[in-house]
Amino acid sequence: MHHFCEILEVFFYRRLLINPLLSVRFNAQNSASAGFPKLMCQKRFFTENLSKMLCYIVTSKLSSIVPQPDDYACPICLAVAWRPIRLNCSHVFCVRCLVKAQRKGMRNCPMCRSENVVARADAGNLDVPLENFMKLYFPKEIKEKRKETEREQAMEDMEAFTGRQWTNKAKPSDADCAIM
C-alpha cells in the first residue's frame, strides 16, 4: 500500500506539471498539495476510490493496446475493410468499395487523389497479412461485412439478370397502390 501511495503522489505531481492552471492553484507556497499523500493513504479514501481508479487506468491502457474495429475501417463504407486492398499510395479500402469505384470509372485515390492507383488496383494489391489479422481480432465484424457483401452482390446479380432495379420492400404498401 505504501508503494501505491507513492505512485499516486507521482501521478499527482505529474498532472501539476502538465496543467499550468493546476500548478498555479496548488503550488508549494499555499501547501494545498502537502496533505495529498496523507489523504491518499487514509483507509476511507483508499477503499472508496481504488476500484474506480484502477478501472480507469486499466481501461485507458487497454484501449490503446487492444485493436479497435474503427481503426481498420474502410474510409468509404465505414465498415471493417474485409478483403483489404492496399493501394500504391498505402491507403486501404475494402474490395467491394474499390470494385464499385472502378466500375464508376474512378481512377484516383479517394483519400489523397494519387493518380491512377484505383484504376491499377488488382488482386495483387490484396493485403493478406492485414486480412489474417482482422480475421483473428474482428470475427464478428468480418461475418457481418461478408453477409452485407453477399447481399449486395446478389442484388446486383438480380438486377443484371432481370434488368429491373432491386427494391428492399417485402410487399407493396398502401401508398404504392395504383388503383386508389
| Residue 89 shares a structural domain with residue 156 | yes
Task: Indicate whether 27 belongs to any domain.
Answer: yes
| Residue 42 shares a structural domain with residue 8 | yes
The count of domains in the chain is: 2
Check if the beta carbon of residue 53 is closer than 8 Å to that of residue 45.
no
For each of the chain's 180 residues, which pLDDT tens digit applies? 556 666 766 666 666 555 554 444 444 444 445 555 555 555 555 555 766 777 777 777 777 777 888 889 999 999 998 899 999 999 999 999 999 999 999 999 999 999 999 999 998 999 999 999 999 989 999 999 999 988 888 888 888 888 787 666 555 555 555 565
| Residue 139 shares a structural domain with residue 89 | yes
CA atoms of 71 and 80, how far apart (whole Å): 9
Sign of CA dihedral 159, 165, 167, 173: negative
| Residue 48 shares a structural domain with residue 99 | no
Task: Indicate whether 19 belongs to any domain.
Answer: yes
Q: What is the dihedral of CA 66, 69, 70, 71, to 10 degrees?
A: 60
| Residue 54 shares a structural domain with residue 89 | no
CATH of the domain at 115: 3.30.40
Task: Indicate whether 130 belongs to any domain.
Answer: yes
Cell output for 31: 501547501
- Residues 6 or more apart whose CB falls under 8 angstroms from that of 125 comprise 85, 86, 87, 88
* pLDDT for position 177: 58
Task: Indicate whether 67 belongs to any domain.
Answer: no
| Residue 115 shares a structural domain with residue 152 | yes
Task: Indicate whether 167 belongs to any domain.
Answer: no
Task: Indicate whether 173 belongs to any domain.
Answer: no
| Residue 48 shares a structural domain with residue 98 | no
Task: Indicate whether 171 belongs to any domain.
Answer: no
pTM of the model: 0.57
Domain containing 20 equals 2-59
Task: Indicate whether 177 belongs to any domain.
Answer: no
| Residue 89 shares a structural domain with residue 49 | no
Instruction: Quote helix, strand, coil % in the chain, to nearest 5.
Output: 60, 5, 35
